[in-house]
Amino acid sequence: MSYEVLETRYSILTRLMGFLVFMIKDDTDYSRMESKMLSWVCCRASLMVKGIVTLEMRILGIETSCDETAAAVVEGGTRILSNIVASQVEIHARYGGIVPEVASRQHLLSAIPILQRALAEAGADFKDIAAIAVTNGPGLAGSLLVGVNLAKSLALACDLPLIGVNHLEGHIYANWIEEEGKNGLPEFPLLCLIVSGGHTDLVLMEGHGHYRQLGRTRDDAAGEAFDKVARILGLGYPGGPVIEQAAKGAQSPYRLPRAWLKGSDDFSFSGLKTAVFQMARDLGITGESATSSQMVVEIAAGFQEAVVDVLVAKTVGAARRCNVKQILLAGGVAANDELRQAMIRRSSLPVLIPSPILCTDNAAMIAACGYFRLKKGKTSGWDMDVNPGLRLVEITQVQSSGVQS
Ligand code: KG4
Ligand code: ZN
Ligand 1 pocket, residue 361 CB under 6 Å: yes
Do 58-177+361-394 and 190-353 agree at the fold level? yes
Class in CATH terms, 58-177+361-394: alpha beta
Domain locations in the chain as residue ranges: 1-20+43-55, 58-177+361-394, 190-353
pTM of the model: 0.86
What 3-state DSSP class applies to 318?
helix
Which of 63, 65, 360, 390 best tests ligand 1's pocket when mutated (most atoms within 8 Å of CB)?
Answer: 360
Ligand 1 pocket, residue 138 CB under 6 Å: no
Which of 193, 217, 220, 226 best tests ligand 1's pocket when mutated (most atoms within 8 Å of CB)?
Answer: 226
Question: Quick one: 190-353 is in which CATH superfamily?
Answer: ATPase, nucleotide binding domain (3.30.420.40)
- DSSP assigned state of 189: S
Ligand 1 pocket, residue 66 CB under 6 Å: yes
- DSSP assigned state of 334: G
Atom 23, ligand 1: residue with shortest CA distance: 240
Q: Which atom of ligand 1 is nearest to the CA of 65?
A: 6
Ligand 1 pocket, residue 61 CB under 6 Å: no
Kindly give the confidence (pLDDT) of every residue in the chain, 405 residues in length, as a single tens digit, with 9 standing for 90 and above: 444 444 444 445 445 544 544 454 444 454 554 554 555 555 455 545 544 444 689 999 999 999 999 999 999 999 999 999 999 999 998 888 899 999 999 999 999 999 999 999 999 999 999 999 999 999 999 999 999 999 999 999 999 999 999 999 999 999 999 999 887 899 999 999 999 999 999 999 999 999 999 999 999 999 999 999 999 999 998 999 999 999 999 999 999 999 999 999 999 999 999 999 999 999 988 766 555 689 999 999 999 999 999 999 999 999 999 999 999 999 999 999 999 999 999 999 999 999 999 999 999 999 999 999 999 999 999 999 999 999 998 544 433 333 333
Ligand 1 pocket, residue 244 CB under 6 Å: yes
**Dist. CA 348–CA 168, nearest whole Å:** 26
- DSSP assigned state of 93: H
The residues that bridge with 330 in the sheet, in sequence order, are: 194
Contact 231, 279 (CB under 8 A): no
